[in-house]
Amino acid sequence: MSNLLSGIEEITLMGPGPSCIYPEVYQALSKPTLGHLDPYFIQIMDGIKELLQKVMKTKNRLTIPLSGTGSAGMEACFVNLIEDGDPVLILINGVFGMRMKDVATRLGAEVDTIEFEWGKPVEVEVVAEKLKNKFYKIVAIVHAETSTGVRNPVAEIGDLLRDSETLYLVDAVTSLGGIEVATDDWGIDALYSGSQKCLSCPPGLAPATFSDRALDVILNRQTKVPNWYLDMSMIAQYWEGKKRVYHHTAPINMLYALYQSLYLIIEEGLENVFRRHQEMHQRLVEGLEDLGIKLLVDPPYRLPQLNAILIPEGIDDARGRALLREKYKIEIGGGLGPLAGKIWRIGLMGHTAREENVHKVLNGLREVVGRK
């Protein structure tokens, strides 16, 4: 029996995530495992909370990584806040807004949606109009729509909800660590992300934060959270309580990796990190223009970390990506849903957002589109 792991090649991850991993994060991953109640490990947990608060720009006490991937973060935010029949408004302009609808509907919420064209942003005025007519317990939006590369107006929607009783739920999976996420300033009550995007960790953790108001709602539910694993009232006792009450065994080594990646981001400086993403994006866009490749999204709404490009006429989706994978050792992403076969998604997330990678992918694309 041969060991498949010995055949793993290093691939430059320039798709919609996972992204390239910092070398220091690989090292962190294989540090000796400690017990989940070990006093030194608890110090590391506290360190992660502090670093996450900085990266998420929040003072929320309940700011912790959940033991699952980004979608577990989505599940956790909805399942803790929704009770049967609760009115929820979901703003949809891509796959992850659709996923929110599916998650919330399964949990018994009365879900209303406003759908916008994929590749265009959520329109603030349309949302404002909707909010005039009906009270929602939760309004949910995806900040960086990974399926299209659109940046949604999270701050502006937050302004609409200020002084209301509505809880504001935000998907920051692809935004956190790539563009500003100002949890407190934008009035966000529940926010989740994923480790494998701009944090440049392997996939497996969902950093999340809950405002005191959201926690209050959770602690005063009529019914128990119908998901033991993701019940924040119990998880909080392990992460926050004076006596750390065992809930489930934390994913120790993945948490080392997350600590290290957050540490590197704070060390570089959040603003510097955002600037680096923006600069690499601009270089990529210039190079794409030279190759005659167009982007899906209009400039004001483009995410620097996720660039959706239109597959040029006459180029085969699968063959193009296979050439990049095989010859150039680069992964880029295909389109999802209605955009399958129409776009490619080029990620410049976290440690991927470096000049050498921009050159590398432009080189590969040059061959793919036949402009040698």
300 to 339, contacts with a copy of itself by CB under 8 A? 325, 331, 336
CB of 6 to a copy of itself, least distance (A): 9
Distance of closest approach, residue 326 Cβ to a copy of itself, in angstroms: 10
The two tokens of residue 246 are 């065992």
**Binding track over 130-169 against a copy of itself, x by CB under 8 A:** ----------------------------------------
Residue 52 or 160: the one with the smaller Cβ distance to a copy of itself is: 52
C-beta closer to a copy of itself: residue 102 or 165: 102
Of residues 192 through 221, those in contact with a copy of itself by CB under 8 A are 194, 196, 202-204
Residues in 63-102 that interact with a copy of itself by CB under 8 A:
67-72, 74-75, 79, 99, 102
| 342 counts as binding a copy of itself under rule CB under 8 A | no
Q: If you count DSSP H runs as helices and E runs as strands, how many of each does the chain have, helices first?
A: 12, 14
Q: Which is nearer to a copy of itself, 157 or 201 (CB)?
A: 201
Number of residues that bind a copy of itself (CB under 8 A): 78
Per-residue contact string for residues 242-271; x = within reach of a copy of itself by CB under 8 A: ----xxxxxxxxx-xx-xx--x--xx----
| Closest by CA position to 254, among listed 20, 44, 14, 17 | 44
DSSP 157: H
For residue 42, the minimal CB distance to a copy of itself (Å) is 11
Of 39-47, 123-131, 290-298, 359-367, the window that binds a copy of itself (rule: CB under 8 A) is 39-47
Phi then psi for residue 330, to 5 deg, are -120, 135
Candidates 8, 243, 299, 300; binder of a copy of itself (CB under 8 A) is 8
Which of 186, 328 has the CB closer to a copy of itself? 328
CB 348 within 8 A of CB 305: yes
What residues contact residue 254 under an 8 Å CB cut-off, 6+ apart? 29, 195, 201, 202, 204, 205
Q: Is the peptide bond before 18 cis (omega within 30 degrees of 0)?
A: yes
Q: Which is nearer to a copy of itself, 210 or 301 (CB)?
A: 210
What single letter denotes the amino acid at residue 38? D
Residue range at the interface with a copy of itself (CB under 8 A); choices 1-9, 126-134, 180-188, 289-297: 1-9
In the 3-class helix/strand/coil scheme, how is 242-296 assigned residue by residue? Answer: CCCCCCCCCCHHHHHHHHHHHHHHHHHCHHHHHHHHHHHHHHHHHHHHHCCCCEC
Nearer to a copy of itself, 70 or 177 (CB): 70
Choose the stretch contacting a copy of itself; rule: CB under 8 A; options: 12-20, 270-278, 283-291, 297-305: 12-20
Nearer to a copy of itself, 93 or 196 (CB): 196
User: Is 47 an interacting residue with respect to a copy of itself (CB under 8 A)?
Assistant: yes
Distance CA 251, CA 49 (A): 15
DSSP string, 158-184: HHHHTTSS-EEEEE-TTTBTTB---TT
* Nearest by Cα to 169 from 143, 139, 145, 146: 139
**121: exposed, middle or buried (C-beta count within 10 Å: 0-12, 13-18, 19+)?**
buried
Looking at the DSSP bridge assignments, the partners of residue 279 are none
